[in-house]
Amino acid sequence: MFASATRPPAVREYHRFIYQSVTVRIVLQCQQAEKPEADRRQDLFYFLYEARDPDTGQRAYGEDELRAESSLLIIAGFDTINISLSSIFFYLTGDPRRCQKLTREILTTFESAEDIIHGPKLQGCSYLRACIDEGMRLTPAVPSEHARKVLAGGLNIRGEHYPAGTIVGTAPWASSRSRAVHGEDAEAFRPERWIVDESDGDTTEEKLAQYRSGFYPFLSGPYSCIGRHLAMMEMTLIIARTLYGLDIRRAPGSTRGGGRPGLGWGATDRKQDAYISLRHGPEVQFRKRTL
């Protein structure tokens, strides 16, 4: 029913929350069964609950499976975006010049906060997208390797043969900070690397393709994140509306978010070893902008 008693209290509490929330939501689903479809609460859970096996016509998910899916959706749709936003604001508040550059793009593109909606104008904010990509590159929401099992026949990777059954994986933290891919400033926050500028040769089409080759914040292939477009829409809206209406800065004297000696193994600098990135900050101050 709940997580093992040997697991940390926070994990047990999370599993308890999932169990109880799904139980309540199933009750609601049953209560609204007699209502016209247009009057029902048609959230994501609604469609998971109503999904049917095309061959048997039976429900596609049992209660345990609904709880597992709900747990995954909460982690994927909440923690990952929060981590990415925290990272982006951390780097922006540590680089006032680039923060001002991004703010100028937003203020000159939109006439009001209400004008900032998902559409061509927002998607056309190239520096905004570059800042998001750079933040996700430096702090991938899921920095650990994504394990895969080698299939029958084995697999050759860069001259090494891995027999069937071998567990392999690539850690986004390592690949996104590779100097072989991103150059000597791989550890630096430089959104300009994602914008082609042939005039000074800094980022050419060839270099951009090289950067993209080591950048998979949402993974790739058949197991890539199905919510990646929604995540990008949410982040662009949140950042654009925040910077349109608010001045931001790092809290004076704050060291949270950057790591420091004394925090323990894996947290003495920005690198923290966990499946989902861990955070200590950042501490950011906001002030209403006078337009």
Binding residues for heme: 225
Note the helical H segments in the chain: 9-31, 44-50, 63-74, 80-93, 96-109, 120-123, 126-138, 172-176, 179-182, 205-213, 228-245
Calpha distance 191→182 (Å, rounded): 12
Q: Distance between alpha carbon 80 and the CA centroid of its chain, in Å?
A: 4
Q: DSSP letter at 278?
A: P
Exposure on the CB side of residue 175, measured as CA atoms within 13 A:
20
CA distances from 97 to 104, 140, 200 (A): 11, 23, 20
Distances (CA, A) of 14 to 3, 4, 28, 71: 9, 12, 21, 9
Q: Is 161 helix (H, G, I), strand (E, B) or coil?
A: strand
List residues forming the annotated binding site: 225
State residue 100 phi and psi, 5-degree precision: -65, -35
